[in-house]
Amino acid sequence: MPKYTIKEVVSKKDLKEFIKFPDDLYKHCKQYVPALHSDQIYSLTEDPALAYCLHKLWMVFDGKKVVGRICGMINPRYNARYDKKRARFGWFDSINDIKVAGMLLGEAENWARENGMNEVHGPLYYNTFGKQGMLVEGFENVPPFNCLYNFPYYNDLVSSLGYVKECDWLQYKMDARQEPQDKMKRIAAILKEKYHLHEGNIDEMKKDKKMVDYFFKVYNESFAAAVYNFIPFTEEEIKNEAKLALHFLSDKVGSIVLDENNELVAFGIGFPTISPALQKAKGHMFPFGWLHLFRAIHNFEVVDLMINGAVPKWQNTGVSAVYHCAMSKKYRKAGTKWAISNPQIETNSAVNVWGKYEHELYMRRRCYVKSV
């Protein structure tokens, strides 16, 4: 029988092992999308959220071989906002062994209790913008680059260890060549005429740093009350997300709606999928990873729908019809064939918008919670 040991990640060597483990675990999995190692190092050591979040990393070994990993996190801004005493887990990967999973989650739970927490939930990131939700349906599909992938047995492991469903997020796949419904077109036309709405240019917005920062501040305000477990970004987090997203923003597959004063009203942002490029890069930007990514961001055949919403005063007005109609035209012009929706909580009425198109469930992902 294997003799497992658990170790906290404390050195650069440990961190490299922590990051490389999924590459070995999913080596023969066609659906897995490796994250760039450099991005993972940044996330685990320099992410602006670490200015206020606590976190610790652990690995389980079988001899000298890594067989599991986990990150425990405590976000005090989340706990204050929702009046909770919760820790969260993420970066959870394990071989199919209940003992390994138990050691990993047990260590995170003990750490949570030591810090005065009474619940643990996950898989989550420090904030709302990172990878979250354990895959429970859609294992045959390749996830968007910003979403987790895991083997089906992960759910059996965490369930056996006392974790229960907190919530599910749904993602849909749609034929991007579909025309919007006539009703949606009428609503868009009425709103544009009545309120003098017009479409802005994302490529022009990218050149204006103040406008980019403003966009992400509006995003912050727009989702504060609408998104489950949402944690508003700090100024530093806004700057960081703006910097990371800028390379992928393109007017060819996105739309921003402005009013007569050129104030932002609503937005529908899509990225060309880079998942196949990341699979080819195998975690490394060099020597050829950059080339795969460069080609991917100029290929609009498949688009990942990333951020869709409206500023608070325009929510529940039907203004989404305006950017849906605009994006539909752009998809046909760009040769886009498929669109994959971003994860949306199953109880959010915004999910219903996909019912206006022919669609199929692409992935379902779950957040688990346990009292400790």
| Euclidean distance between CA atoms 231 and 151, whole angstroms | 28
Domain that holds residue 21: 4-171
Answer with the one of 171, 204, 223 that is the final residue of a domain. 171
Is the same domain home to 26 and 51?
yes
Is the same domain home to 233 and 150?
no
| Euclidean distance between CA atoms 365 and 158, whole angstroms | 14
The pLDDT value given to residue 37: 97
Query: Is residue 343 one of the residues assigned to a domain?
Result: no
Residue 99 clears pLDDT 70, i.e. is over it: yes
The pLDDT value given to residue 120: 98
Query: Is residue 304 one of the residues assigned to a domain?
Result: yes
Query: Is residue 369 one of the residues assigned to a domain?
Result: no
Per-residue pLDDT reduced to its tens digit, 126-180: 998 889 999 999 999 999 999 999 999 999 999 999 999 999 999 999 999 999 9
Query: Is residue 92 one of the residues assigned to a domain?
Result: yes
Is the same domain home to 199 and 309?
yes
CA 197 from chain centre, in angstroms, equals: 30
Is the same domain home to 202 and 258?
yes
Query: Is residue 362 one of the residues assigned to a domain?
Result: no
**Which two three-digit tokens encode residue 23?**
């590459």
Query: Is residue 220 one of the residues assigned to a domain?
Result: yes
Answer with the one of 122, 139, 171 that is the final residue of a domain. 171
Is the same domain home to 217 and 293?
yes
When the pLDDT of each residue in the chain is averaged and rounded to a whole number, the result is 93
Per-residue pLDDT reduced to its tens digit, 270-301: 999 999 999 999 999 999 999 999 999 999 99
Per-residue pLDDT reduced to its tens digit, 176-218: 999 999 999 999 999 999 999 999 999 888 888 777 777 778 8
Residue 259 clears pLDDT 80, i.e. is over it: yes
| Chain length of the chain | 372
The pLDDT value given to residue 28: 97
Assign residue 214 the CATH number of its domain: 3.40.630.30
Q: Cis omega (within 30 of 0) on the bond before 48?
A: no
Is the same domain home to 207 and 66?
no
Q: Which of 338, 336, 247, 237 is nearest to 285 (CA)?
A: 247
| Structural domain count, the chain | 2
**Which two three-digit tokens encode residue 235?**
């100024």
Is the same domain home to 18 and 132?
yes
Phi-psi region of 283 (alpha: psi -120 to 50; beta: other; left: phi over 0): left
Is the same domain home to 204 and 144?
no
The pLDDT value given to residue 232: 87
Is the same domain home to 130 and 160?
yes
313-321: long-range contacts (C-beta < 8 A, 24 or more apart)? Answer: 314/265, 314/266, 315/222, 315/226, 317/191, 318/187, 318/191, 319/191, 319/197, 319/257, 319/265, 319/266, 320/266, 320/268, 320/353, 321/180, 321/184, 321/185, 321/187, 321/188, 321/191
Answer with the one of 110, 143, 171 that is the final residue of a domain. 171
Is the same domain home to 162 and 304?
no
Query: Is residue 271 one of the residues assigned to a domain?
Result: yes
Is the same domain home to 271 and 183?
yes
Per-residue pLDDT reduced to its tens digit, 39-58: 999 999 999 999 999 999 99
Is the same domain home to 145 and 210?
no
The pLDDT value given to residue 350: 62
Query: Is residue 370 one of the residues assigned to a domain?
Result: no
The pLDDT value given to residue 312: 86
Q: Show Cβ contacts of residue 65 under 8 Å, excluding neighbours closer than 6 positions.
A: none
Three-state secondary-structure class, residue 315: coil
pLDDT band at 101 (very low <50, low <70, confident <90, very high): very high
Q: Which of 25, 1, 303, 333 is nearest to 175 (CA)?
A: 303
Q: What is the mean pLDDT of residues 310-327?
A: 91
